[in-house]
Amino acid sequence: MAQDKDPAFVRFKNIEKRFGKVTAVAQMDLEIPEGSLVTLLGPSGCGKTTLLRMLAGLETPTAGDIYIKGRRINDTPVHKRNLGMIFQNYALFPHKTIFDNVAFGLKYRGFSRDEMTTRVEKALETVRLPGVADRMPSQLSGGQQQRIALARAIVIEPDVLLMDEPLSALDENLREDMRREIDNLQQDLGVTTIFVTHDQREALSMSDKVVVMKDGIVQQEGGPEEVYNNSANHFVADFLGHSNFIDARVEAKENGYLTVSLTDGSTVRVNPAGPFTTGDKAEIVIRAQKMTLGYREDLAREPEMNYFTGKIVDRSYMGGEVSYFVELPTGKVLHVINFVKRSPYRRGDEVFIQVDPYHCRLLGD
């Protein structure tokens, strides 16, 4: 088979997938480093699962090539790709024991019963469920079933582990536990992993690299901090967490920051990152968690900070945090999320919002 000299462990080269007149993935180039956990992140219908299914051999690319370890696999049958797969619904066989579920992939690889027993026991210990081999899936909780699905995927010692929305069927507490477990397990095993999700918290907390997709096109790829703090466009900034967007115009560069004017004539200092010059139209992006809320007497006015004044028009108490919506004199509403340090501010309160210029980023118009 043809060899590819690219050092990436997994590579999509000019890959495209069309369903009739609908383009699900549009001429994508993507490299997955060996031993990394890369997340495909985006809303439903963005093409992330289609990309995963093409790698798995469950869908055939319309154009382009897919490589694993430098070998083109477009024509390689599913069972010869040596991939571990975990799905949203676990896909366990309800009529088979846990042993038979985990050993399923080994039976078709010519392992003896003793070899299968050794591997299954090791896989169950790895996912912290030793001693359950004789049970049935219905005897386990949802979180335990997901661990069994994970054990079945890793027992074959796959070249690549594929995970398609594996945590979406779990409740929030279990999701948090499984996020940590998958992250730790992936690091311990060092297996190259591609994780598909629409949940930005999962992507940011687990990934070495995040690939944000929309309409079959990669919008941005990079480390979690990079895509979160330096979003490439409005879509990425909006999809990755709670962001505020304010129209602005670049006025000058001074003291290491850009000064921009707002539609009401006021000015704000912002982070100078990006190819912006005087007169450019842009929008300021400020994360809801990067702003501090307070009464006039609470916030010492520091000259290097940006300030907004407004009135709380809505709030949501979330235990350790409170989500506030503050209406400015212009009518613009800013979303502010702060930890609860004392009694939460009330609807109707007149407040100040303080934000460091470093956390005010510009996006091109």
Contact 166, 149 (CB under 8 A): yes
CA distance 42 to 215: 9
Domain pair 10-235 / 242-364, same fold: no
Q: What is the 3-state secondary structure (H, E, C) of 73-128?
A: CCCCCHHHCCEEEECCCCCCCCCCCHHHHHHHHHHCCCCCHHHHHHHHHHHHHHCC
Contact 326, 307 (CB under 8 A): no
On whether the 10-235 domain is CATH 3.40.50.300, my answer is yes
CA distance 179 to 166: 10
Nearest to 331 by CA among 263, 237, 251: 263
Bridge partner residues of 11 (DSSP): 31, 67
Q: Is 69 left (phi over 0), alpha (psi -120 to 50) or beta?
A: left
Burial bucket for residue 46 (CB in 10 Å: 0-12, 13-18, 19+)? buried
The percent of residues above 90 in pLDDT, for the chain, comes to 79
Tell me what pLDDT residue 3 has.
Answer: 45
Q: In the numeric block, which tokens belong to residue 325?
A: 């919506």
Tell me what pLDDT residue 174 has.
Answer: 83
CA distance 4 to 356: 47
Tell me what pLDDT residue 176 has.
Answer: 86
DSSP β-ladder status, 10-19 and 321-327: unpaired
Tell me what pLDDT residue 4 has.
Answer: 45
Tell me what pLDDT residue 300 has.
Answer: 66
Q: 226 by DSSP, 3-state: which?
A: helix
Contact 169, 87 (CB under 8 A): no
Domain 242-364 carries which CATH code? 2.40.50.140
Give the containing element (helix H, strand E) for 144.
helix 142-154
Q: 47 by DSSP, 3-state: which?
A: coil
Contact 160, 84 (CB under 8 A): yes
Nearest to 349 by CA among 286, 300, 298: 298
Tell me what pLDDT residue 299 has.
Answer: 66
Per the listing, tokens 């390689």 go with 76
CA distance 9 to 36: 9
Length of the chain equals 365
Segment-wise mean pLDDT, segments of 10 residues, the chain, 365 residues = 62 96 95 96 95 96 96 93 88 94 89 94 94 95 91 95 89 85 91 95 94 96 95 95 95 91 94 92 96 80 87 92 95 94 87 95 88
Domain boundaries, the chain: 10-235, 242-364
Tell me what pLDDT residue 233 has.
Answer: 95
